[in-house]
Amino acid sequence: MRTGRQAPQADGPAWRRIPGGVWALGFVSLLMDVSSEMIHALLPVYLVVALGTPVLTVGLIEGIAEATAAITKLFSGALSDRLGRRKALAALGYGLAALTKPVFPLAPSVAWLVAARFVDRLGKGIRGAPRDALVADLSPPELRGASFGLRQSLDTVGAFLGPLAAIGLMALFADDFVAVFWVAVAPAGLSFALVVVAVHEPPRPAGLRAVRTPLARAELARLGPAYWQVVGIAAVFTLARFSEAFLILRAQSVGTALMLVPVVLVVMNIAYALSAYPVGALSDRMDRVGLLLLGLALLVAADVVLAVTGGILGVGIGVVLWGLHMGCTQGLFAALVADAAPAELRGTAFGVFNLVGGLALLAASTIAGALWDAVGPAGTFLAGAAFALLAALGLGATRRRLGPR
């Protein structure tokens, strides 16, 4: 089966007309997320309980790892524009992540685990922007929203299958962390093999301008006002959608049993996965910006519910709304970046977008934590609602420039 860009059929459902390469990238993401989340769902507990690592060290490990991924995305995206090729960098990123997986069960010390986590996030950073640019390169413009939505849905399926698999395997192996880590090696290896074998880069369009220094000021200016407005709105939006760790803390604050607290993320990711593709496909037939405004409204509703609720049912409703808002926004922001950026600078565009989003998420989580300590959960989530409303106002003001489809 050829999995490069294919000429779309004139009729039939959108998912049948999405190029095979996009489907392959979706399953690559799914398999890698299953592997990564199996490990990451257990790693903090393993470090603290099994190895006696201080919680502060765990926090520093996670912070450094995520910052590394965000910064690397910028340079890998720019490099893919300079080379004019995306697949090799995407495959390198997935390969590095797969290579680290056996280190987790074999690691003789915390230092080895830290190194493995660092290289794993380095791999995520290397693959992120080139993969998103490759999705845009493979997708016909009329299927761009559906393509990004599909990849996001499959990625998110892996995000909730991984923790569920970890829970089941811990029960099966009588809480043997190392045995679960070994099982996680298999889907990572399959992910790397799939991206190498099943994803074929489309030919570079004739006459497309070569880019020697993608991060030069002149090249960044070529991204255009519409692109920079998308980045700015997404940054304000990200200030409203701080780390999902606060959803777990909210569930715990209303009396949810500790063993059931991880279910919060499973529920959120199910809502996310079920909504991302339909919303993406719908955005190819109507105004993407209107759907983004719907996503922001869902985030405001989620924040308000989580701020005022006093029981588990209310938290559950808030978590579902949170997942739906993710499905209504993440793929659409990626599609808007692809719409706005010149084809020869897509890698750089996604790299800058991801870097700004990562920094905004770090700021959002810091603000949320400070508010939580100062005024409690209600203040945290109400502040999130205020940022979401601010992003909605900015999006409404630039709607004409971004343009309805």
CB 116 within 8 A of CB 61: no
pLDDT at 295: 92
Q: What distance in Å separates the CA atoms of residue 288 and residue 227, rounded to the nearest whole number? A: 14
* List of long-range contacts for 169-175, beta carbons under 8 Å, 24+ apart: 169/38, 170/42
Q: Structural domain tally of the chain?
A: 2
Q: Nearest CA to 38 among 132, 153, 172, 128?
A: 172
Q: Is residue 212 part of a domain?
A: no
Cα–Cα distances (Å) from 127 to 97, 122, 340, in that order, read 10, 9, 21
Q: Is residue 344 part of a domain?
A: yes
* Torsion sign across C-alpha atoms 21, 22, 25, 30: negative
CB 324 within 8 A of CB 318: no
3-state DSSP assignment of residue 85: coil
Q: What distance in Å separates the CA atoms of residue 57 and residue 51, rounded to the nearest whole number? A: 12
Q: What distance in Å separates the CA atoms of residue 343 and residue 348, rounded to the nearest whole number? A: 10
* Domain range for 115: 16-200
Other C-beta atoms lying within 10 Å of the C-beta of residue 111? 9
**DSSP states of 110-174 as a string?**
HHHHHHHHHHHHHHHHHHHHHHHHHHHHHS-GGGHHHHHHHHHHHHHHHHHHHHHHHHHHHHHTT
pLDDT at 70: 77
Other C-beta atoms lying within 10 Å of the C-beta of residue 137? 24
226 shares its domain with 195: no
Q: Is residue 405 part of a domain?
A: no
157 shares its domain with 224: no
190 shares its domain with 250: no
Contacts of 360 (CB under 8 A, 6+ apart): 234, 235, 236, 238, 239
Q: Nearest CA to 357 among 235, 230, 223, 220?
A: 235
Q: Name the amino acid, one letter, at 338.
A: A
98 shares its domain with 125: yes
Q: Is residue 154 part of a domain?
A: yes
Q: Is residue 155 part of a domain?
A: yes
Categorise residue 175: left if φ over 0, alpha if ψ from -120 to 50, beta otherwise: left
Q: Is residue 207 part of a domain?
A: no
Q: Is residue 211 part of a domain?
A: no
Q: What distance in Å separates the CA atoms of residue 380 and residue 375, rounded to the nearest whole number? A: 8
22 shares its domain with 61: yes
Q: Name the amino acid, one letter, at 366.
A: T
* CATH code, domain carrying 77: 1.20.1250.20
| Both tokens assigned to 25 | 């990238």
Record the pTM. 0.81
Q: Is residue 41 part of a domain?
A: yes
Boundary (domain end) residue, out of 143, 173, 200: 200
283 shares its domain with 381: yes
264 shares its domain with 193: no
Boundary (domain end) residue, out of 151, 167, 200: 200
225 shares its domain with 168: no
For the chain, the C-alpha Rg in angstroms (whole number) is: 21
Tens digit of pLDDT for each residue in 246-260?
787 788 788 777 666
pLDDT at 402: 61
265 shares its domain with 151: no
Tens digit of pLDDT for each residue in 162-186?
888 888 888 888 888 889 999 999 9
| Both tokens assigned to 56 | 């502060």
For the chain, helix (H) and strand (E) counts, in that order, are 20, 0
Contacts of 206 (CB under 8 A, 6+ apart): none
| Both tokens assigned to 11 | 């009729």
180 shares its domain with 223: no
Tens digit of each residue's pLDDT, the chain (405 residues): 344 444 445 566 788 899 999 999 999 999 999 999 888 777 766 776 667 766 556 656 666 676 677 788 889 999 999 998 899 999 999 999 999 999 999 988 878 888 888 898 889 989 989 999 999 999 998 899 999 999 999 999 998 898 888 888 888 888 888 899 999 999 999 999 999 999 999 888 877 888 888 989 999 999 988 899 889 888 888 888 877 777 877 887 887 776 666 688 888 889 999 999 999 999 898 888 888 899 999 999 999 999 998 788 899 999 999 999 999 998 899 999 998 899 899 999 999 998 888 888 778 877 888 888 888 888 889 988 998 888 888 777 776 666 544
From start to end of 7-64, where are the E strands? none
pLDDT at 400: 63
Q: Nearest CA to 372 among 363, 361, 383, 357?
A: 383
187 shares its domain with 224: no
Boundary (domain end) residue, out of 200, 226, 253: 200
Other C-beta atoms lying within 10 Å of the C-beta of residue 311? 10
180 shares its domain with 278: no
